[in-house]
């Protein structure tokens, strides 16, 4: 602990963008598509601690892990190791740094060279960095194998001869060979069975204690992350939405995304009532992430417009319609499927049991929804978005009615324009900064802004949230 003030690893404004421009035609027409996999991430890793990073697939966790060690070249930002910027190092200097910074991969088998024996897999870093030769090297390899709980006599076996758990131990032994300070573990146990997973997690924690290692631990399983981490960062679409000490992150106050992740954990207890928040849809494309708060398209706690008198959940439903209308190119996508309320099973039942081989048809269902009456059409739209027959607020109902009229005439753009002014959330306009909610605990959500009125569930009149527009 030479300098406790300086963290082992300090990441500032790290961005990694991929160019996914598809071939010649895209280039010809100048259509560039940038995947913003990691988009401005800051964190510190302190000596001897474990920082867990969680999020759904597609959030950029793996890209982040690899960018930190420059296995993928970051687009912008800096990674300081002991005060020195890794992104500015030449590749030879970087190679020397690898004796301090190591990586454990998700898939144990594919990360091991199938043509090397276990001994050579573990010994290779020793050769590359010239750390040991001859009998000293062999001795060190045996020692490493034993450190991770493998039999030293297995040094001559090939990776495929080991079980999944043993392969992951090999990967860990390889990382340990250079006596690193930091190991970035990318989903190190997600490919393993429950009983083996706990063995490897225990091994990692033993090694941390023995060698004073610091881990960046990437995982999608919150149960695992909670178990191993001192601090946790929750990642969504290339950004951290919440970070803090593990206990604080797992207790309220939460970012709505953290809350949703927590309530989705399948709890191994039959009497546990897990009917919590369910997120709809999947992570949006990082090519064109949503404006404002990136989570607003799925957020169950979207902040209503301050001028609205509607109950928050009804407001959110109308806002969902407004959002869909703004991006839809076909009215049918805004209505419930016709006949969906008829029980599919029953429909099958009635025609199926009558036997016979002649093809038959269901009762006519008509064609497009716009051919239905205006009234039916309105009902279908309301059904799709779980809206009541009339909104409790007269002004809002009038706007909605006009919008549905427009949709009925197939003027989607008009409908979107009608709804937009009254049904745009501050979350769509402001990109939330990280708000300090406790010691070392930050949440990037407008609900934690000073101007947010908790009781009303909206922003105080005239208050503008801090986030950049």
Contact 308, 458 (CB under 8 A): yes
Nearer to other proteins, 20 or 365 (CB): 365
Q: Is 195 in the site for other proteins (CB under 8 A)?
A: yes
CA-nearest of 81, 70, 54 to 231 is 54
Nearer to other proteins, 225 or 400 (CB): 225
CB of 291 to other proteins, least distance (A): 21
Interface with other proteins (CB under 8 A), residue from 63, 197, 258, 297: 197
Total residues contacting other proteins by CB under 8 A comes to 71
The length of the chain is 469
Nearer to other proteins, 115 or 352 (CB): 352
Q: Is 370 in the site for other proteins (CB under 8 A)?
A: no
Q: Is 226 in the site for other proteins (CB under 8 A)?
A: yes
Rounded to the nearest 5 degrees, what angle is found at the Cα of 206, between the Cα atoms of 202 and 210? 170
CB of 353 to other proteins, least distance (A): 10
Q: For residues 138-157, which are near other proteins according to CB under 8 A?
A: 149-151
Q: Is 269 in the site for other proteins (CB under 8 A)?
A: yes
CA-nearest of 62, 150, 65 to 102 is 65
CB of 46 to other proteins, least distance (A): 18
CB of 171 to other proteins, least distance (A): 13
In angstroms, rounded to a whole number, what is the distance separating the alpha carbons of residues 365 and 234? Answer: 46
Q: Indicate the helix (H) or strand (E) that contains 352.
A: helix 344-352
Q: Is 210 in the site for other proteins (CB under 8 A)?
A: no
Q: For residues 376-435, which are near other proteins according to CB under 8 A?
A: 384
Burial class (CB in 10 A: 0-12, 13-18, 19+), 235: buried
CB of 231 to other proteins, least distance (A): 16
Binding mask 52-71 for other proteins (x = CB under 8 A): ----xx--------------
Rounded to the nearest 5 degrees, what angle is found at the Cα of 14, between the Cα atoms of 10 and 15? 170
Question: Could you report how far apart the first and last alpha carbons of the chain are, in Å?
Answer: 42
Nearer to other proteins, 95 or 223 (CB): 223
Taking the CA atoms of residue 69, residue 71, residue 76 and residue 79 in that order, the dihedral angle to the nearest 10 degrees is: 10
CB of 264 to other proteins, least distance (A): 4
User: Quick one: which segment of 87-95, 218-226, 398-406, 418-426 binds other proteins (CB under 8 A)?
Assistant: 218-226
Contact 90, 33 (CB under 8 A): no
């Amino acid at each position: 602990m030479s300098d406790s003030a300086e963290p082992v690893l300090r990441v500032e404004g790290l961005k990694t963008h991929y160019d996914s421009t598809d071939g010649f035609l895209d280039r010809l027409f100048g259509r560039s598509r940038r995947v913003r996999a990691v988009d401005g991430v800051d964190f510190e890793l302190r000596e001897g601690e474990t920082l867990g990073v969680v999020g759904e697939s597609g959030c950029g966790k793996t890209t982040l892990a690899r960018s930190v060690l420059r296995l993928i070249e970051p687009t912008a930002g800096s990674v300081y190791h002991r005060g020195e910027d890794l992104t500015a190092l030449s590749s030879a200097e970087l190679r020397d740094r690898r004796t301090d910074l190591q990586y454990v991969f998700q898939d144990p088998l594919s990360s091991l060279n199938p043509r090397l024996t276990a001994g050579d897999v573990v010994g290779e870093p020793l050769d590359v960095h010239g750390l040991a030769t001859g009998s000293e090297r062999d001795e060190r390899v045996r020692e490493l194998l034993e450190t991770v709980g493998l039999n030293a006599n297995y040094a001559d076996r090939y990776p495929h001869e080991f079980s999944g758990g043993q392969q992951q131990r090999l990967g860990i032994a390889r990382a340990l060979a250079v006596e690193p300070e930091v190991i970035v573990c990318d989903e190190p146990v997600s490919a393993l069975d429950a009983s083996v997973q706990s063995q490897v997690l225990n091994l990692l924690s033993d090694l941390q204690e023995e060698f004073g290692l610091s881990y960046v631990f990437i995982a999608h399983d919150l149960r695992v992350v909670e178990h191993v981490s001192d601090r946790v960062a929750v990642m969504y679409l290339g950004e951290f939405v919440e970070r803090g000490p593990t206990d604080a992150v797992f207790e309220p106050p939460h970012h709505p995304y953290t809350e949703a992740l927590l309530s989705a954990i399948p709890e191994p207890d039959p009497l546990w009532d897990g009917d919590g928040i369910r997120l709809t849809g999947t992570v949006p494309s990082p090519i064109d992430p949503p404006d404002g708060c990136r989570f607003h398209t799925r957020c169950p706690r979207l902040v209503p417009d301050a001028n609205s008198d509607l109950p928050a959940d009804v407001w959110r439903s109308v806002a969902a319609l407004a959002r869909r209308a703004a991006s839809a190119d076909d009215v049918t996508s805004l209505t419930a499927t016709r006949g969906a309320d008829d029980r599919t099973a029953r429909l099958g039942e009635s025609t199926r049991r009558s036997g016979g081989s002649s093809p038959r048809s269901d009762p006519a269902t008509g064609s497009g929804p716009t051919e239905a009456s205006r009234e039916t059409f309105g009902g279908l739209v309301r059904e799709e978005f779980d809206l009541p027959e009339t909104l409790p607020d007269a002004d809002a109902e009038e706007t909605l009615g006009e919008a549905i009229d427009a949709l009925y005439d197939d003027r989607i753009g008009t409908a979107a324009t009608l709804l937009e002014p009254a049904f745009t959330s501050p979350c769509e306009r402001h990109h939330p900064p990280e708000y300090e909610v406790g010691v070392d605990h930050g949440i990037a959500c407008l609900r934690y802004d000073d101007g947010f009125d908790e009781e009303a569930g909206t922003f105080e009149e005239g208050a503008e949230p801090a986030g950049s527009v």
